DNA sequence: GAACAAGAGCGTACCGTTTCGCGAACACGT
DNA sequence: ACGTGTTCGCGAAACGGTACGCTCTTGTTC
């Protein structure tokens, strides 16, 4: 059906090798170049990437595994990573882990089977075991947003500790002392943010009651429940720091449903602005990540790994964050 | 590096043909089956889908083009389509049109170049021109959510007219008479929903002032602006019907920022529930689509098109919707 | 026991590219 | 006129599978 390189040979009288050379940007005589180009036009020829892939052993495809494709956070990352890759001539194969470690491990095998040349992964699991198969096959991997305690993989993320520390300091600066935190237990990210929070509190000479620390799942539900529990405490906190997108969302939900007023009754500071900060009232003060830049870096890392054959130690990129103002924080006359 | 079918031949002493037959589920002698299986285990053999694709001319890949990957609506659809395809042994290549017709057209060409066997498309354009290349190559296409005025493609969507009509009747049933609508101008979907709305109003013997009809872009911004304008009218509507996800989101935003109260000052009825109806206060009453079922149908349609070689007239599937209760509608003592 | 059918295995051509080694043609300086 | 170097083209062998048509075993039936 479709024209092949052989059809071009027929029409031009040249050899396969010459035509192939032309297709790959090699030098051919102007006269032959002409012939080939008209033949391509006449026959509507397009190179068959499958056949090319068979011999070059390259698929020009990168796999991306996201923890939850329904999350807007994933969506934004997918868009930017896809854009960058497209510019570099690569395609993106997206897999959704549905927040499930088993599916995540399946995804890795699936992508290997699809012969992707590299992977960008926002992991669900706490351990890197599920990525082991990529090591066997020497497939470059770049983690995003989340990394592991001891990691052997390239990673692009934000400086979680500092971000949380500064966010907490902001609350402290507004006069808050009774600050609660909602964080995720499972991975490094949540843990680092939690540490940043504790550090700021210790520096301020404040102690944090057990019941102010809600460490749990990375879900809207957990954020929701945690916030409700916090609001029910006899000694309510005056401010809450939510350390990821999902729990921020859930917490906002809970406050809106509870009848409490933000910032009147409780101040809030969230993480990971997406459209959310606009849709909720009042506008949420948030820690925002440079998502586009992170994606550019991630793509850069995975492509350089592909290009250079030598091993190199893993690179961990820590990007800065900014604190975006809102009016979800009430200044307290302190001390 | 990786083991090939030829390595298996070495170890087993069988021929390529026999091994290939085994791999494709053919019958081989139990004794040979045994040999092949141990060889596969020993050598960690995995079939090379690229090579297989070259000869069978099949990639076992479906392309999906979504209008905006940052929209949760897209995310949900991607997840379900991906799930269904995976079960059928197909991979999903996702492309993001960024609400841009030019990018959309590029995406079609890109997917054709990637030799996908079929496409699932949530279009941005109002015309089907950009899909013409798929016709030339005889690549099956299924549209989702949005179709064209005169369409030559399979399509899975909801019964937009009825959905809007019933939603409007619900508002009317609550005693509302001054009902405004925010709809998208561009495609069939928005137009049908608008027609359903008009129909219900006419049936109720009510006229709709010009300034109550906000027909425009399919964006959060348009929803936001429209709602603000409606709230500023000297003769404010008592209820607003938002006919898609983005404008619903924008409208909610606007009300929250404006200081008006919902449902006290204004009642709202939205379209396309995603997590949104929980995160906003009060809980939004919404028209919800059977998204999972729609995806199952879409995949079914595209796969049957692939399997059967004969042409058949396009199938347009119209699914029913349900009206999900909330408390964003204030009952009026009418008449 | 011959005729025949069914089942299994085998060779080999092919899918559409790239790549490698080699040779032809040409230009140049001496 | 000759060696030298450069440029460009060619033939053929991969790459890793599938599939067609043939042969060779078996087992069954009369």
- Nucleic strand C under 7 Å from the C-beta of B13: yes
Whether chain B has a CB inside 8 Å of the CB on A260: the answer is: no
Joined tokens for residue A267: 């101040």
Domain A160-289 class in CATH:
alpha beta
* Beta-strand relationship, B239-242 and B179-184: parallel
**3-state SS of B269-286?**
EEECCCCHHHHCCCCCEE
Q: How far apart are CA A319 and CA A156, in angstroms?
A: 8
Q: Which nucleotides of D are covered by protein (CB under 7 A)?
A: 7-21
Q: Which nucleotides of C are covered by protein (CB under 7 A)?
A: 7-21
Instruction: Note the CA–C1' distance, A85 to C24, in angstroms.
Output: 43
Q: Scan for tokens 């699809």, then name that residue.
A: A114
Cβ-count burial B193-213 (b if 16+ within 10 Å, e if not): bbebbbbbbeebeeebeeebe
Instruction: Note the CA–C1' distance, A29 to C28, in angstroms.
Output: 20
Q: How far apart are CA B334 and CA B312, in angstroms?
A: 52
According to DSSP, residue A332 is labeled P
Cβ(A194)–Cβ(A163) below 8 Å: no
Sheet holding A141-144, edge to edge: A91-96, A61-66, A118-121, A141-144, A154-158, A316-319
Alpha-carbon distance values, B133 to A51, A153, B111, B118 (Å): 22, 41, 11, 12
CB pair distance less than 8 Å for A115 and B49? yes
Alpha-carbon distance values, A69 to A20, A232, B69 (Å): 40, 33, 9
Of B155, B100, B154, B157, the C-alpha closest to B130 is: B100
Whether chain A has a CB inside 8 Å of the CB on B266: the answer is: no
Radius of gyration in angstroms for the set of CA atoms belonging to chain B, rounded to a whole number: 26
Cβ(B169)–Cβ(B326) below 8 Å: no
Joined tokens for residue A331: 């200044």
Of B79, B275, B281, the CB nearest to A96: B79
Half-sphere exposure of B96 (CA within 13 A, CB side): 25
Q: What is the dihedral of CA A270, A275, A277, A278, to 10 degrees?
A: 180
The helix, strand and coil proportions of chain B, stated in percent and rounded to the nearest 5, come to 45, 15, 35
Cα B194 → chain centroid: 20
> Exposed, middle or buried by CB within 10 Å (0-12, 13-18, 19+), for B138?
exposed
Out of 3.40.50.720, 3.10.20.340, 3.40.50.2300, 2.60.40.10, the CATH code matching B60-158+291-319 is 3.40.50.2300
Work out the end-to-end distance of chain B between its first and last CA atoms, rounded to an integer number of angstroms. Answer: 81
How big is the CA angle at B331 (ends B330 and B335), to the nearest 5 degrees? Answer: 135
**3-state SS of B97-133?**
CCCCHHHHHHHHHHHHHCCCCEEEECCCCCCCHHHHH
Cα B156 → chain centroid: 8
Whether chain A has a CB inside 8 Å of the CB on B98: the answer is: yes
- pTM attached to this predicted model: 0.89
pLDDT digits (tens, 9 = 90+) for A9-22: 999 999 999 999 99
pLDDT of residue A335: 44
**Regions of chain A with pLDDT less than 50:** 335
Whether chain B has a CB inside 8 Å of the CB on A114: the answer is: yes
**Regions of chain B with pLDDT less than 70:** 186-187, 274-281, 334-335
pLDDT digits (tens, 9 = 90+) for B200-255: 999 999 999 999 999 998 888 899 899 999 999 999 999 999 998 888 888 887 88
pLDDT of residue A282: 74
Whether chain A has a CB inside 8 Å of the CB on B252: the answer is: yes
Q: How far apart are CA B74 and CA A108, in angstroms?
A: 23
How many contacts does A have with B, using Cβ atoms within 8 A?
A: 107
Q: How far apart are CA A74 and CA B146, in angstroms?
A: 24
> Exposed, middle or buried by CB within 10 Å (0-12, 13-18, 19+), for A4?
middle
Cβ(B184)–Cβ(B150) below 8 Å: no
pLDDT of residue B335: 44
A94 CB neighbours in chain B (<8 A) are 78, 82, 92, 94
Q: For B98, which residue in chain A has the nearest alpha carbon?
A: A79
Whether chain B has a CB inside 8 Å of the CB on A98: the answer is: yes
Q: How far apart are CA A319 and CA A158, in angstroms?
A: 4
Flag residues 35-54 of B with CB < 7 Å from strand D. 45-48, 51-52, 54
- Nucleic strand C under 7 Å from the C-beta of A10: no
- Nucleic strand D under 7 Å from the C-beta of B5: yes
The strand pairing partners of A118, in sequence order, are A62
According to DSSP, residue B89 is labeled T
Q: For B256, which residue in chain A has the nearest alpha carbon?
A: A281
Stretch(es) of chain A classified as CATH 3.40.50.2300: 60-158+291-319, 160-289
Q: For B57, which residue in chain A has the nearest alpha carbon?
A: A50
Of B75, B253, B276, the CB nearest to A70: B75
CB pair distance less than 8 Å for B53 and A50? yes
- Nucleic strand C under 7 Å from the C-beta of A21: yes
- Nucleic strand D under 7 Å from the C-beta of A34: no
């Amino acid at each position: 059906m479709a024209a092949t390189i052989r059809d071009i040979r027929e029409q031009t009288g040249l050899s396969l090798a010459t035509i192939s050379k032309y297709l790959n940007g090699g030098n051919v005589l102007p006269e032959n170049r002409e012939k080939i180009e008209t033949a391509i036009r006449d026959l509507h020829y397009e190179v068959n990437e499958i056949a090319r892939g068979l011999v070059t052993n390259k698929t020009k495809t990168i796999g991306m595994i996201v923890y939850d494709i329904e999350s807007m956070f994933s969506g934004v990352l997918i868009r930017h990573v896809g854009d960058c890759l497209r510019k570099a001539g690569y395609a993106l194969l997206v897999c959704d882990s549905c927040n499930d470690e088993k599916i995540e491990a399946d995804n890795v095998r699936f992508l290997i089977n699809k012969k992707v040349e590299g992977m960008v992964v926002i992991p669900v699991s706490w351990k890197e075991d599920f990525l082991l198969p990529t090591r066997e096959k020497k497939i470059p991997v770049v983690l995003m947003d989340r990394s592991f305690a001891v990691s052997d993989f390239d990673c692009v993320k934000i400086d979680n500790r500092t971000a949380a520390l500064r966010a907490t300091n902001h609350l402290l600066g507004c006069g808050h002392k009774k600050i609660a935190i909602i964080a995720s237990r499972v991975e490094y990210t949540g843990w680092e943010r939690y540490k940043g929070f504790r550090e700021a509190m210790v520096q301020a000479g404040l102690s944090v009651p057990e019941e102010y620390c809600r460490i749990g799942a990375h879900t809207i539900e957990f954020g929701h429940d945690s916030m409700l529990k916090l609001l029910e405490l006899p000694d309510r906190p005056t401010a809450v720091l939510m350390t990821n997108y999902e729990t921020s969302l859930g917490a906002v939900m809970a406050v809106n449903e509870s009848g409490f007023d933000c910032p009147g009754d409780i101040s809030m500071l969230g993480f990971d602005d997406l459209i959310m900060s606009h849709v909720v009232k009042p506008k949420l003060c948030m820690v925002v990540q440079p998502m586009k830049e992170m994606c550019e870096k991630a793509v850069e890392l995975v492509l350089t790994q592909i290009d250079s054959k030598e091993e190199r130690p893993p690179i961990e990129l820590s990007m800065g964050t900014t604190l975006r103002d809102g009016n979800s924080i009430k200044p307290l006359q302190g001390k």
